[in-house]
Structure 1
């Protein structure tokens, strides 16, 4: 009986091992020099024949290989004919918060309640998520893990995708507060006998008053003696003193204008709009108030019948041309699995009005600036983290985004996932069939 139990336990552990995420890479131990690749810096610049050197997890040299090849040291990677990029950044993601939608025990993306500024998504982040692992073969190496639900959803944090646990993963903790702005219109509830058309929402102004009241109450509490502990109010202190950004999820034209007024009333210096479907209609106001935008995924259908058929495809490009700081986020249906398509969202923006290097900025330097991590991420520059990858071709094109090497903070990561293993397995199957025929 004892032997049976031991055998069962070993078998169970072996199954877990097969399904667990790749083991995090060891700390960088020697310098790495990448020679000859076309370097896409992430700020609009390109170095055709580049030399990139990094040590102790930091980039120490970015230059032209023809002039500086003699400076190469440590492990030398010959990347002639290939391309090197900074790691792509997925903002407003729920990666690591939900593993299987149908299994409630694996779903930690939201909490019960309306006003939840004290909820921290980071402590629920699962660093061993198999879904998160699949981001890496496409070059998505960093992400902002954001909560969902409620009026005020809680606080996001930014992580890198090669870690033992959430403490190791965090690169910026509690970076911003997420607010779901109410809608000024709603669809009639046909099941209650209402006209199914769109009509003004009677609760819209009430909900805005509710939000403003919460802000006022939190300020009053923080200005008082604080004798009684109130976690939601205490969590607002970092918002009021500017340590946290405010991310407001909003799409409608009227709603965006109301958000701009809310920013002024509450003196919120660092506010970002997420979603922003109708932002183009109020682009001048956004520019005048220095508000950054994370547009929704381009691979979507128009929301209204009279919208341009290609509005979702070109929105990021049109806003960028207006001088607005723009990034791309991918929330929505199957958002965790679809987050791996982030580079192809940027590729779509390039196909609909942006220069290719400008489109790259939507998922590198622009997003880094919006999230407040541009000091160490988003571009290939000396002094920044060596979070980067080498691709056989254009990383914004799904046909040529084929990674050969990837590094997170200088650590060479494993690009194998359950999906890549299955792909190789079935490719071998069909190759055998062709050989037999």
Structure 2
């Protein structure tokens, strides 16, 4: 009976998997493709109104003004895109796509590990390339992302992937790009569900928690400088942030926490630093600029946290930082962050309504994200020699009313834009359109 139940369970899971099968990853680009006539948004601030973009062997061979270029396209596959727009693939910073499929199903959740100090935990090996959530990003032009573990003081090591692959090995663009740290909060809120005052209070353990982090880094540094007679995998995992080969991403929101975190990283000799979240980063923008610290700015579509904050506080933080010269990218973390990753272009669009130009807003989810993650040599902009990772939209991709993606390419591969959601939409559209 137990054996029969086990077989039934396997068959049930197989049926579920087949009924919602992911789209097959696209084959390698086999012929030269030219996109002609579209408005090309390069991603570095440049816009070409009437462009010709040539893709060959997964790379951009030509990106120029069609009125100024004489290119023979007779032997190419030509995509006529007059009146449409071409953008580099959008990049999710500080995301968890592919680590959780269904929050309520423990077996599909690989978001965090036990323990507080886990620099050796690698998110890439837990990444599920066949996630139905991942494929649902592509119809909005979100084609790349950083996969970040959560939980603990040092959460682990992130990697960067592209969103059309058979497995994590195929998906990986840059493995183990950086270490992620949750900086202690200098304030805490009372647990209202236990009858405590929900207001902000100083964190009495702040100094102790910071010291624990300092001690751990010092011990790791000593280990990596020593003979390493006895293996210590967590300490060894931190070596890259000391020699500059890895990035240090520090989750910190309050002004004091951000300042203390940067000073801590500098005192440890860390050169590549990014503040993640950065709710009050705008208050210390000059300090961040002076220390060459970049910011993954928290989700734009969130409410102000403090009673004295302006109603549009979160909407205008990006402009405040950009105007100061801080390198900024947008990230979607928070409640329902995996679902909200698909709204990345619309977060950028909101910053346009609050001061940034469209070109600046586009950079927040393309060039700037690529620069911070260290993949700007191949991704983030539409420039000759870089990866042909881009998409064609019917209109402005930062506006949810007009971002209608008709074609998308990852490394020159013509990827599917179908998802289980679009399949259901088509199914029920036929049902109701056929009724009298």
Which of 177, 184, 187 is equivalent to 1:185?
A: 187
CA distance in 2, matches of 1:139, 1:294: 19
| Distance verdict in 2 for CA 1:194–1:135, change over 3 Å | closer
The answer to whether residue 34 in structure 2 is matched with residue 30 in structure 1 is no
Correspondence for 2:404:
402
Correspondence for 2:132:
130
5 Å-filtered alignment, 1:39-118, equals: 39-72=40-73, 73-118=75-120
Please list the CA deviations of residues 41-66 of structure 1 after superposition, one character each: whole Å capped at 9, or x if unmatched.
00111001100001110000001112
The answer to whether residue 150 in structure 2 is matched with residue 143 in structure 1 is no
Please report the TM-score for the alignment, with normalisation by the length of structure 1: 0.95
Please report the TM-score for the alignment, with normalisation by the length of structure 2: 0.95
| Distance verdict in 2 for CA 1:13–1:200, change over 3 Å | closer
Where do 5+ consecutive residues of structure 2 fail to align? 1-6
Q: CA deviation at 1:261?
A: 1.0
Q: CA deviation at 1:317?
A: 1.7
Correspondence for 1:3:
none
The answer to whether residue 356 in structure 2 is matched with residue 318 in structure 1 is no
Q: Secondary structure at the match of 1:100?
A: coil
CA distance in 1, matches of 2:303, 2:9: 50
Q: CA deviation at 1:257?
A: 0.9
Q: CA deviation at 1:8?
A: 11
Native 8 Å contact 1:38 1:81 kept in 2: yes
Native 8 Å contact 1:276 1:294 kept in 2: yes
Runs of 4+ in 1 over 6 A off after TM superposition: 6-12
Which of 373, 376, 381 is equivalent to 2:375?
A: 373
Correspondence for 2:164:
162
Report the count of equivalent residues.
430
CA distance in 2, matches of 1:105, 1:18: 19
Please list the CA deviations of residues 157-184 of structure 1 after superposition, one character each: whole Å capped at 9, or x if unmatched.
0000010100000000000000000001
CA distance in 2, matches of 1:352, 1:364: 19
Native 8 Å contact 1:88 1:364 kept in 2: yes
CA distance in 2, matches of 1:394, 1:118: 41
Q: CA deviation at 1:19?
A: 1.3
CA distance in 1, matches of 2:23, 2:157: 28
Q: CA deviation at 1:192?
A: 5.9
The answer to whether residue 290 in structure 2 is matched with residue 288 in structure 1 is yes
Please list the CA deviations of residues 358-411 of structure 1 after superposition, one character each: whole Å capped at 9, or x if unmatched.
111110001111111100000000000000000011111111111111000000
Q: Secondary structure at the match of 1:71?
A: coil
Native 8 Å contact 1:131 1:336 kept in 2: yes
| Distance verdict in 2 for CA 1:9–1:223, change over 3 Å | closer
Native 8 Å contact 2:155 2:181 kept in 1: yes
Q: Secondary structure at the match of 2:178?
A: strand
Correspondence for 1:432:
434
Q: Secondary structure at the match of 2:288?
A: helix
Native 8 Å contact 1:88 1:139 kept in 2: yes
Q: Secondary structure at the match of 2:60?
A: strand
CA distance in 2, matches of 1:190, 1:301: 19
Native 8 Å contact 2:26 2:414 kept in 1: yes
Native 8 Å contact 2:253 2:281 kept in 1: yes
Correspondence for 2:355:
353
Please list the CA deviations of residues 119-154 of structure 1 after superposition, one character each: whole Å capped at 9, or x if unmatched.
000000000000000000000000000000010000
Q: CA deviation at 1:187?
A: 1.8
CA distance in 2, matches of 1:320, 1:426: 44
| Distance verdict in 2 for CA 1:311–1:196, change over 3 Å | closer
Q: Secondary structure at the match of 1:66?
A: coil
CA distance in 2, matches of 1:313, 1:408: 31
Which of 9-18 and 33-42 deviates more?
Answer: 9-18
Q: CA deviation at 1:249?
A: 0.5
Which of 335, 338, 349 is equivalent to 2:337?
A: 335
| Distance verdict in 2 for CA 1:404–1:192, change over 3 Å | closer
Native 8 Å contact 1:51 1:69 kept in 2: no
Native 8 Å contact 1:35 1:69 kept in 2: no
